[in-house]
Structure formats: C-alpha cells, structure tokens
Amino acid sequence: MINIHTLGELKKSGYQHRSVKEELRDNLIKHLQENKAGFQGILGYDDTVIPELQTAILSRHNILLLGLRGQAKTRIARLMVELLDEYVPYVAGSELLDDPLVPISWYAKQEIAVKGDDTPIAWLHRSERYTEKLATPDVTVADLIGDVDPIKAATLKLTYNDERVIHFGLIPRAHRGIFVINELPDLQARIQVALFNILQEKDIQVRGFKLRLPLDIEFVFTANPEDYTNRGAIVTPLKDRIESQILTHYPKSIDISRKITFQESRISAAQQATIEVDGLLKDLVEQVAFEARRSEFVDQKSGVSARLTISAYENLVSAAERRKLINGQKKTVARLADFAGIIPAITGKVELVYEGELEGPVHVVHRLIGSAIKTLFINYFPHPEKAKKSKKENPYQSIIDWFSDGHTVDLSDDLNDSQYKKELLKVPSLQALVKRIHPKLAESQQLLLMEFVLHGLAEHSQLNKSYFHGGVGFSDMLGSLFDGGFDENEFD
C-alpha cells in the first residue's frame, strides 16, 4: 500500500476510510482473536485495568485514566499507538494530515478539487499519530485549539475572513491520531470548557470564524485524584463527556512489584555480573513500598509511586558496588547494611503528613525499612515474640544472652567480605540457628540471614538497634535503656 502515490491509485486499491476509534476497535478485535497479549510491559493490570481499557476501546470511547502517581497511566496511553494501523495515507503537504477520501482542511480540499486523481498521497507511520500534552496552568486555548496568525495573513496577503490565516493548535494537528492530556485537573477551567465541542460535536471554534472541522481523534486523559482537592478539578460537563473512566492502582503483590522493578531498573551488565542480590533483599525493597502505603507518617492521598522501588533497588546495587570498589574486590554480595544507600531514593518520593514531618524524613525511612524487615522476618524464622512466650526452648535465647553479657556487633557499610563475616561470627550461636532452619544455603546466603536475624530480633524488641554514620550497631535491649544508646536524630 505504501507504494501508492496518487489519489487515483489509492481509490483503485480498495482503501476504505475508517475513523481512529474504528481503527483501534478493529485492530483490538484482531489482537483478541489471535490471543495477543498487547500492552507489553504493563504488569499487574491483567484482571483489572486492561480488560476495562479494552472494553472502552471496543465501545469507541474517549478515556480518562484516574490514579495516583507512578501507576503507568501515561505508559498505557502511549502503548495504545500499537493498535493503530502501521501506515495510513494522507494528502501530501496537508497541515492536518487529511484522509484523501475525507478531507477537512482548506488545503486538502483545494488540492483534490484542482488535481483530482493526480493529488499526491503520502503515508504516515503510527508512531507519528500520537500527541501528548502536559496540562499546566499556563496552557492557553491557542496552544490547544489555535488562533489567528497575523504573520501568515500578511505573508499570504489574506484578509482575516479567510480561514487560511488560522494557526492550528495541538488538537487539530492530532487529527486522525491519539491525543493525550496528562494531569487534566491542572488545566484551567476555562481551557477545559474549550474541549466541550471537540468531545461532543467533534468540531472546533477559533475566535470569530464559522469554522467546523470534524476532527477525528481518540482522546486519552490522565488525572490524579489528589488534584481534585489540592490543585484543581475536572469540570463536571467535561467529565460527563469522557465516556469511560478507568481506575488504576499499585501492584497488589510483592511478586508483581518485583517484576515491575526489574523491568524498569537501570542495572548495567557489569553490575549484574559483579553484584549478587539475594531474593530476600529484593523482596525487602518491595516491602518498603508496601509499608509506606499504609504508614501513618505518609500521606496516603499522595500515593507512593512505583518509582520508589525502582530507584531504591538501583541504589541498593550501587551501594554494594561502591563498597566493592572501595575494598578492591572483584565481586560482592548485597547486604542489609547496604540499605543505608536506599534512603535518598525514598525520602524524596514519600509525602509526609504533619506527624511524619515531626519525626523527620530519614527517621521515617528507617521506620519503613524496619517495618519491612519485621513483616518478612516471620516468613523465614520463628516469630520471636511467640518463641519467647512458648514453653519450648527459645531458639533465640542464646543469641539474646550473648548480647546481655555486654557484647555488641557493629556492621558498617564499608566492611569488606572477610570483615563482615568476622563480625557476624562473633555471635556464637547465630550461624548454628541459620544452618538449623535453612541448612542448604551458600555461605553468602547464610551470612545474609545471620544479619537478617539480628535485624529481625531488633524489630521484635529482642535486641537494640542503633544507627551511626555509615552503619548500624546491635546491643542488649535492657542495657540500652540505661546507657541511652545511639540517638538516630543526631544523624538525620
């Protein structure tokens, strides 16, 4: 088809005009009949968002994707391009990329009237049929719809009664494509009103012109519910004209969250080859986000973006890499001590409520990491509090007693592998406990779980955990009550 170069050849080929919505619908039907997955890279929405999105497309609807930040709303909109035909014809030189069989602009109509079947035809790839605009308070009607261009009028020697003096905005130029407005509530109400006619009557109005352009566009809007109260709102008549509203959400399981993180994180081949990250640490990174989404210190209306875990995982790997480079090692294994490196990736991605601000962002992050450890610990080891109350022998008692005798363990984030191992082996029964419960592990995994036990006991109030510059220390819980221990806030 793309070898066709004139209107006459196009007519003979049997080409039929279809609206964008019909085009999306027809291609989606083919995908569903062929069991093609579609929307590649969108994880966790197979049973929720994707079916609703497909239903909206089949219904030829304009769509509003409503959800908190970091829920892949824009990515979904961009992937809709894959449902367009690979190439479509248009009148060559047309500003609005007119369909040769259904021209709407003055230029295209004039070309066809003068040249007839010899009208030149060009072809447009689907990647060029996507337009995206971030709604900001300074967006004007001229930006979106268009305005009179006095320079064009003077250059072409036209009066202001001639529609050729109009400079079209983004929406008319998106004719026969997908137009996305991100963060719709940030658009001023008077600008939102300018969209009414386009959505309902399918035409535009530019100043005083009696111009009716039957634009053919699939509109996709994205919005954050937080915006409805904090920055702006979608005016009710506009919301009424958007046929389908689809609610997005955060991953509902750690497994899905991990897949998203690994898909999106930028980990180089060199890092993958030299830094080993155990599945426990990967789960902990995801669990931090889950803890943040229910923390009393975090503003839940703002949401906790999936970008948090992506950035945190990248920082975890980089913290281990930095330690490896400092110690002149060729390879290393990530540790819980490396979680100090993920703090900068979290503090900027959680909005704190008043109580959280009083605690301080770093202190809140320490709490979130601690809560994640506490949640996952009982998946690997017996519950410390239940073990303490049980009539059976407490598997942690000898460890607790060792610390009660005044011993301490300090794990700084710059220890080399041998120093790290030596520090953990100071606790006589710690390795024995790990080997008894998890007997078939490599040494690196044993050491990680030994460190995990210390953190887990601290989070369950069996040991004292104190932070210092570049590390964490463990000591007797009772002794810390008398000596005051470390004060986290000193290092915030």
Model pLDDT, residue 383:
94
Mean pLDDT value of segment 304-326: 95
pLDDT, mean of residues 221-231? 71
Residues 143-156 as b or e (16 or more Cβ within 10 Å = b):
ebbbbbbeeebeee
Which run of H or of E encompasses 410?
strand 409-412
β-bridge partners, 275: 332
Tens digits of residue pLDDT in 410-469: 998 889 999 999 999 999 999 999 999 999 899 999 999 999 999 999 999 999 999 888
| Helix, coil or strand: residue 259 | helix
Compute the chain's Rg from CA coordinates: 30
The two beta strands, 409-412 and 471-476, are antiparallel
Taking each helix axis from N to C terminus, what angle separates 279-292 and 307-326, rounded to the nearest 10 degrees?
Answer: 140
- Residues 384, 462 contacting (CB under 8 angstroms): yes
- Give all domains of the chain, ordered by start, each with its CATH number: 7-138+174-203+216-247 (3.40.50.300), 254-491 (1.10.8.80)
The secondary structure element, H or E, covering residue 2 is none
Alpha helices in 157-278 (DSSP H): 170-173, 189-193, 196-200, 227-230, 236-241, 254-264, 269-274
| Residue 307, token pair as written in the block | 């970008």
Q: Express each pLDDT in 18-47 by its tens digit.
A: 999 999 999 999 999 998 878 988 999 999
pLDDT tens-digit readout, 233-278: 888 899 999 999 999 999 999 999 999 999 999 999 999 999 999 9
* Calpha distance 222→68 (Å, rounded): 10
Residues near 445 by beta carbon (within 8 Å), at least 6 away in sequence: 278, 438
**Rounded Cα–Cα distance for residues 14 and 20 (Å):** 18
Residue type, 282: K
- By the 8 A CB rule, do 323 and 315 touch? no
d(CA 249, CA 43): 11
Read off the pLDDT band of 229 (50, 70, 90).
very low
pTM as predicted? 0.86
Closest CA to 408 of 344, 361, 474: 474
Contact 375, 291 (CB under 8 A): yes
How far is Cα of residue 231 from the mean position of the Cα atoms in its chain?
21
pLDDT tens for each residue of 46-74: 999 999 999 999 999 999 999 998 999 99
Place of tokens 């020697």: 157
Amino acid code (one letter) for 212: R
Q: Residue 296 has which token pair?
A: 């009393």
CB 68 within 8 A of CB 303: yes
Indicate the pairing of strand 63-66 with strand 244-247. Answer: parallel
